[in-house]
Structure 1
Amino acid sequence: MSADETEKVRIGARLRAERKARRMTVSDLAERFREIAPPRAAQRLPKLRDLERTIRGHEAGEHSVGPRYRALYAAAYETTEDELFAPPAEPEPSLWLPFEVGLTPDDSDRLVSTAARPSRLDAGTLDALTTVLAGQRRLEDAIGPAALRGPVTAQLDGILAMLRDVSGPLRDRLGSVAAEWSAYAGWLHATLRHDAPALKLFDLAEELADDAHDGVIAAIATSFRGYVARQQRRYELVVRASRAAMASPGRHPIQPTYDLLQAAQGYAGLGDVEQARRLLDEAAERARDTIEPPPAVYWYSEPFFQLNIGMVHHGLGLHTDAVALLEDGLRGMPEDQADAEWLHEYRVALEEARAPE
């Protein structure tokens, strides 16, 4: 990542954190901009929905914040532009402590030491790696993927270096951690539409998971291929990836529920209504089961499955049902996930279902 990209990501994360600290939604902030903008500036502001997209783009680090918007952010957050946009005075954090994710400085030192001498790998180091990954996944729900993509990818390089030089009983567990890290790094690339590197990382995750005999992570990586294909509107590939994930040996019982829904979306995109409905009915039945998901798919919940059932209805043109399902699903999401950027596609689908062409 270039210095300019890093700065945009840093500023975006700061703006998002300031908004979240004030319990404002993006819509609230867009309305606030319109209220506080001087008359001439207000006339130049885009429509409310476009303004919301601009705010999301700033927070995601996709583009720079110009002088007009810098003034609006400072006024909305009741601070100065210098204070809001000033570069950090503290030195850059370590590779393993780029964010506050529950890791102690001692754990960070242990990770640095193990990266330098993999023979020092122990269960405590593996626990620290698990803490970092879990914390960063939860943090993404709050600040978005852009700020995490660079650090997570750099961390993966360090873990792969450890894995190359480790043998013995802990190697499989480290391999499983590396596989999940690779799948997560791939997800961060995919959600930012860096499709080619995302698919390479999913390749690596599948290979690492197979070596470590971790069917859960292998199925996640394969399923994420379907996500990329869905964004590309390559519906045949959506179906193939989803069915491959369902057939993955060692998968968790809850995982096929999502993959059935993803495959149903693929069939809906292909116009195969009968197959889409069949898979939808099977998935809806499975979604009623109260199965605790493994940590690697912590977001698999009844509201999440309801959102994806709504997406299938939307794809089939059943807009009234889609609106009800998507609204209920969004309302039911846990508070710490309710403003996650990955929910954006469901909000877009809800808008489309409310006003079908």
Structure 2
Amino acid sequence: MSQSAPWTDVRIRAAWARRDWAAIFREYRRVTGISQLRLGELVDMPQPHVSAIENGRRQITSAEVIARIMRGLQVPEELGGMARRDESLAEWSPDPELRERIAHAHATGRTDTGTADWIGRVLAEQRRAEDAVGGRDLWPVVRSQLDAVTRLIPSASGPTTDRLLVLAGEHAHWLSWVAAEHGRYGAALAWLDLAHGWAADAGHDDLASWAMRVRSYYSLTHGDPARALRTADAARHAPSLSPAALSVATHTAAMAAAAVGERDQARRLSDEAYALALRAQDPQDRPGWLYWLDSVRARLHHADAAYAVRDWSTAAAGFREALPALADYPRDHEYYAARLEDARQRI
């Protein structure tokens, strides 16, 4: 394992965002399998000091020591300048400088895409770990990654610019989702607008559709199903959609149709969404942010739509069948287990 490879690990990056030195050292050693003695050699620190830091008996405050740790552990560039997380999380909204950088996209020039490749791989790992680690700790990490991506855009051109715009859009929609989870809906919509605009600029129909699907979901969960249905329909009719992207947009339309009382339409849309999802069971057939849309999730979507139209027996059967596969996703398991219990009581 190269010395920089550990930094693909989500828990290390989250610990770095918190400046939790004990966790940084422990997680680094967990991933690399090295001893406290070896870690001390990397950061020019005696083993007893490493032990004291890991056990919380010694704190790190010196800028010189922090710089030595960054060099020794090869902290990636996009994390190197990150400030300590603001515990109030007051700065939720996009930085205007991001828009300014995008405004200079498609200029002639060349850029090294190695950083973008690295950050894309890391974001994929963060998506999968969010349920365990939580968006709160990952928030400053992803913002810092987005900053690194947008800095590459003014010097890029052609397909490289489009690729960077899509990666920036993926980060923006992740930030939107986390902001919404924390009740920051204005910021969530601002991030989503960026994601949609960048996807449209790059000609990436799947990501543009997904951003509209998320907007539809926000409207639905905030009591405006009519608007949600209109937005989901627009997401479904974007050109050149993959089956996976069309599936999630169609499922959201089904849920919105159920909420406005159009049960037959909701059932039809749900069946269509399920069939589309089953056509995209190879992970390579799904956009990166839809890594989770396997046959289990497709079954849960279908059951959720049945629940929304009060078809309790179908809903309960679907939840019961799929729940065992959610053991590693505690929040999702809790949500669908509650749905199952409620459906059972209504049969």
Q: Do both proteins adopt the same fold according to a TM-score greater than 0.5, normalized to the shorter chain?
A: yes
What does residue 77 of structure 2 align with?
A: 109
Match of 1:327 among 320, 335, 346: 320
2 CA distance for matches of 1:87 and 1:262? 51
Query: Does 2:155 correspond to 1:166?
Result: yes
SS, match of residue 347 in structure 1: helix
Percent identity of paired positions between Structure 1 and Structure 2: 27
- Residue 338 (structure 2) aligned to one of 341, 348, 356: 348
Match in the other structure for 2:291: 298
Measure, in 2, the Cα distance between the counterparts of 1:175 and 1:340: 33
AA in 2 matched with 1:332: A
Contact 2:277–2:298 (8 Å) recurs in 1: yes
Q: Answer yes or no: is 1:128 the counterpart of 2:118.
A: yes
**Any unmatched runs of 5+ in structure 2?**
1-14, 24-52, 63-71, 82-97, 99-104
Measured in 2, the distance between the counterparts of 1:281 and 1:347 equals 22
Q: Is the 8 A contact 1:140 1:340 kept in 2?
A: no
- Aligned CA RMSD, in angstroms, stands at 3.9
Quick one: which amino acid aligns to residue 123 of structure 2? L
* CA pair 158-87 structure 1, distance change in 2 beyond 3 A: farther
Larger displacement relative to structure 2 (207-216 or 274-283)? 274-283
- CA deviation after TM superposition for structure 1 residue 195, in Å: 1.9
- Is 2:224 the counterpart of 1:259? no
Cα distance in 1, alignment partners of residues 267 and 78 from structure 2: 52
Aligned to 2:177: 187
Identify if the C-alpha distance between structure 1 residues 308 and 107 changes in structure 2 by more than 3 Å, giving closer, same or farther: same
1:319–1:219 CA distance, 2 compared to 1 (3 A): same
Alignment of structure 1 residues 1-357 onto 2, 5 Å: 89=59, 108-109=76-77, 121-163=111-153, 165-169=154-158, 170-292=160-282, 293-333=286-326, 338-342=328-332, 344-356=334-346
2: CA distance between counterparts of 1:266 and 1:324? 22
SS in 2 for 1:146: helix
Change (3 A) 1:90 1:259: farther
Describe the shift of the 1:112–1:144 C-alpha distance in structure 2 as closer, same or farther (beyond 3 A): closer
**Superposed displacement of residue 112, structure 1:** 6.2
For residue 300 of structure 1, report the CA deviation from its aligned partner.
0.9
Q: What TM-score do you get using the length of structure 2 for normalisation? A: 0.65
1:309: how far off?
Answer: 0.9
Q: Following TM superposition, by how much is the alpha carbon of 1:131 offset from its aligned partner in structure 2, in angstroms?
A: 1.5
For 1:250 and 1:88, the matched residues in 2 are separated by 56
Contact 2:78/2:145 (<8 A) preserved? no
Superposition deviation, residue 275 in structure 1: 1.2
Q: TM-score, normalised by structure 1?
A: 0.64
Say if 2:281 and 2:295, in contact at 8 Å, map to a contact too.
no
**Shift of residue 330, structure 1, vs aligned partner:** 2.3
Cα offset for 1:106?
5.4
How far does the alpha carbon of each residue in 1:178-237 deviate from its partner, in whole angstroms, 9 at most, with x for none? 111111111222233322211111110011111111112112111111221222132112
Aligned to 1:80: none
Equivalent-residue separation in structure 1 for 2:318 and 2:118 (angstroms)? 39
